[in-house]
Structure 1
Amino acid sequence: MAVTNNKLIGAVGLAVLSVVLAWRILVTGLAEYYVARDTPEADAGALRWRSGQSVALYRQGLALAGRDPAAAMRLYQAAAWANPTDALVYLALAELQAGLGQSSVAIALAEIADALGPMRTPVLARSAAFWLAQGRPDRALARWDMLLRNRLGTAGQLYPLLLRWVENAEARPLLRSLLADPPQWWDQFFAYVAAKAVHLEAVAFLYRNRERSGKPPGAAEQQAYLERLWREGHWLETYLAWLSGLDERQQQGLGNIYNGGFELPVTGLGFDWRISAPRGVSVEIAETYGTRGGKALHVVFDGQRVHFRHVRQPLYLEPGHYRLQGRVRPDGLRAERGLRWTVRCGESGDQLLAESPSFTGSDDWQPFAQEFTVPAADCPVQWLRLELEGRAELDFEAQGGIWFDDLAIGRQD
């Protein structure tokens, strides 16, 4: 009989426990449902079902912080008691304590938050704001760095803030840690600064002070810097910055024309070749017979009408007399007026300094040359460009190929 009673008591106990658990699950579920709606009415509903719902307590505290700090403090403390791992609650408490003049307590609370939630975007952003308000930009920068490392989508908000530091000479020492060990997001930020900074001097500071471990600047970094220098017309600085980015092998291609033998990879940076292929044209650097180094420039037209000016290189020639020369091998090229090399002043190319003979037909490798003069005024940079010559539209229909090699410009005086 006693055994039967024990079984009955056990069954009743399990039933009661099941009811209690089910009720707790229901209550918790309803509280979470209301919290997910993220409205003041929903927060009140969540707390009716579960008085210790930490998110609802925290949000009610936020709503009261401006007009009733004491009530907000009680709500935050209740939220921290309900969930001791929520870093946002500690930051909210820290902000209230700082507002009451309790800076040491506020800093201790913020340090707890930093230890609890270093990877959460809202925590990092709020922590950075707290440390800025406390006059600790170094800690704010550490938070921003973590944000950008893990949430690059925050760049739109953070890059403008960081740019202000770059443009403020007194704030720049704060960036030394990032310059000494640039994070992954640094190149993107540098490109932003190069495009947006009011003064070139701010861009130059970042470029010159970055630690590169003895290596040349990366392509993205160098391109951003060179484009800014070029846009402002600092030709000598552009040329020197480009030179400083060349490695030992690339330096072998230096001359008044860089890589005139087409043996080095084309980067499109600085004073290197700028090569593109419009519709109807194939442009490549390829191996062929009769070259001195193995490779040559190869251009092929398929018969379409095209205003071809898509192989070019900027030059930095001092005023004086020069000689453009090279070797050419036409390969069945048919064009009304032919293909030629030109040297012109500036990007617009309004002032023509030199034009080579026009090339058409088929032939073996042949040398060509043309002398020209760079004027002393209004021609700080020049452009060497391969052009399909023409005046009427029919002149720009071309078919067949052509090869070029050993391009060079030598001073004649």
Structure 2
Amino acid sequence: MHNPRFSRLDDQTPRGVRSNWLRPASFAILGLVLVWLIVSRSFVAYLAATAPEAALLLRPGDPTALVVLADQEFNASDKDKREKPEKSSAAARSLSRLQELVETALAADPLNARAYRLLGQLAEAEGDASRTAKLMQTAARLSLNETIAVEWMMRKSFANEDYPATAFYADALLRTRPQLMDYASPILGRMAENKDAKREIEKLLAANPPWRSRFLAALGNAIADARTPLQLFLALKDTSTPPAPADLHAYVAFLIQHKLYEFAYYVWLEFLPPEQLESAGFLFNGGFESTPSGSPFDWKLPQGKGVIVDIARRPEAGDNRALLLEFGQERVDFQGVTQTTVLPPGAYRFKGYFKGEIIGPRGMQWSISCLGGASIGASQMFLGTYPVWRNFAFDLVVPSAGCRAQSAKLALAARSASEQMVSGSIWFDELSISAQPAEPRK
């Protein structure tokens, strides 16, 4: 039965009061719904990448979870089985089921690059070459982060002799996955040795991509002709991004490692600055006026225990610099100062100047040895006190066989651990090697 008193009270309630109460409540409910949607979807998105089965329990049909699940199942299997799947009804059903999962995901997310890549892999497993190519190309076009698709397109483009496309996909692969150099360098190396393709490599390297140095370092293992890197270096020489010194030194070291000594020396000379090329002799930078470049044909100055190796200004000679070794009051252990030389067979004289004070059982000594072989000449031992500059010299003979390259070395002439206790300091400067006239035949 209607109570008129309550009707009067309702009629007397201000309309604004009801509105002020309902509006915050509505916003609060809407906010809770939005928070739930955001949290639930974010959580499902997280699970889709890490635990796709759990994501599908919360949101059946989630496209990311479907693709991740199919990807894990297909690519977690043995690689050989993926490339040559078993011809059985069970294998066919498995591939068909995975394809249904991925196609369901694509229906909800038609721009999913990973889905296209996975369909491409499934098509390849079924032997459908045409469909594989279309799907892999679509995946790579949608995302260059689809590494499998990009690597597949690189190989396919090279097989089709489409060298601009090969270079494009190789660049994309190495920019996104620089750790996959072993996959790209064999193909790029073959392009560098192909007269129809090398121009594409030269253009690619001239752009100085971030992976260039790593590629040049790996190139030696991807070529059949040791001259190939030199051709690339020469093509880059006059560009705005010429080869870095470290790249050249690595190539020279590679050639020396393979005993291509004369060619390594030629490569090094080819890239010397003109002013250094004019003064290059049998021994390089003997006055220590230029900072060692790191090349095997320049000075190597490794540090060691108990010694500081430096190139310093001569106190009495203004801007002139010289080699300085300073020893502490402890056992000395270091590899020695070295330089690789390429002296033709014949007689030579090594000479220079020194001063300093060396105290110990044994002193310092210069020597020339065949690279990896026996000594062919050695200086006096520098031991004692020499307060003023003095000259020194010794003769050497490079044999006609077994000595195509040599090593000039300054080291402590210690024969045992007890003879490594040395103190003091010593300077060397104006070092050179000159050819000696052949003795007349009798």
TM-score, normalising length: structure 2 = 0.75
SS of residue matched to 2:67 = helix
* Stretches of structure 2 lacking an aligned partner (at least 5 in a row): 1-10, 75-90, 438-442
Instruction: Tell me by how many angstroms 1:261 deviates.
Output: 0.7
Sequence identity, in percent?
A: 27
Distance 1:207 1:18 in 2: 67
**Is 1:58 the equivalent of 2:67?**
yes
Q: Give, in whole Å, the separation in 2 of the partners of 1:316 and 1:191.
A: 24
Per-residue CA deviation, residues 88-120 of structure 1 (Å, 9 max, x unaligned), is 1233345566758583x76555454334323x3
Confirm or deny: 8 A CA contact 1:312 1:386 kept in the other structure.
yes
SS of alignment partner, residue 349 of structure 2:
strand
Match in the other structure for 1:360: 384
Unaligned runs of 5+ in 1: none
SS at match of 1:409: strand
Cα shift at 1:290: 4.5
Residues 14-413 of structure 1 aligned to structure 2 (within 5 Å): 28=41, 31-32=44-45, 34-38=47-51, 42=53, 46-47=55-56, 49-59=58-68, 67=93, 72-94=98-120, 103=130, 109-118=135-144, 120=145, 123-129=146-152, 132=155, 135-136=159-160, 138=163, 139=165, 141-152=167-178, 154-155=179-180, 158-163=181-186, 166=189, 174=197, 176-182=199-205, 183-194=209-220, 196-197=221-222, 201-210=224-233, 211-214=235-238, 217-291=243-317, 294-306=320-332, 310-330=336-356, 332-348=357-373, 350-356=374-380, 358-391=382-415, 393-413=417-437
CA contact (8 A) 1:324 1:408 kept: yes
1:379 and 1:363 map into 2 onto residues whose CA distance is: 37
TM-score scaled to structure 1, two decimals?
A: 0.79
Per-residue deviation, 1:217: 3.7
SS in 1 for 2:284: coil
Deviation at 1:406, TM superposition (A): 0.8
Contact persistence 2:358–2:426 (CA under 8 A) = yes
Q: Work out whether residues 355 and 428 of structure 2, in 8 Å CA contact, stay in contact via their aligned partners in 1.
A: yes
In structure 2, what is the Cα distance between the partners aligned to 1:131 and 1:316? 42
Whole-angstrom distance in 1 between the partners of 2:127 and 2:414: 79
Looking at CA atoms only, which structure, 1 or 2, has the larger radius of gyration?
2
Provide the C-alpha distance between the structure 2 equivalents of 1:272 and 1:375, rounded to a whole number of angstroms: 23
Report the 3-state secondary structure (helix = DSSP H, G, I; strand = E; otherwise coil) of the residue aligned with 2:228.
helix
Distance of 1:399 and 1:386 partners within structure 2: 16
Tell me the SS of whatever aligns to 1:333.
Answer: strand
Q: CA deviation at 1:19?
A: 8.1
* 1:60-83 deviation per Cα after TM superposition (whole angstroms, max 9, x unaligned): 555589536665555434322322
Contact 2:325 2:426 in 1 (8 A): yes
CA change 1:81–1:353 in 2 (3 A) is same
User: 2:8 is matched with which residue?
Assistant: none
* CA offset digits 1:311-367 (Å, max 9, x no partner): 12222222222222211122x33233433322222234x233232463420321122
| Alpha-carbon distance in structure 1 between the residues aligned to 2:127 and 2:345 | 70
| Contact kept in structure 1, 2:351 and 2:391, CA below 8 Å | yes
Q: Deviations over 1:191-231 (max 9, x none)?
A: 2233x45x6x4443133224314276422222221222112
Secondary structure at 1:284 match in 2: strand
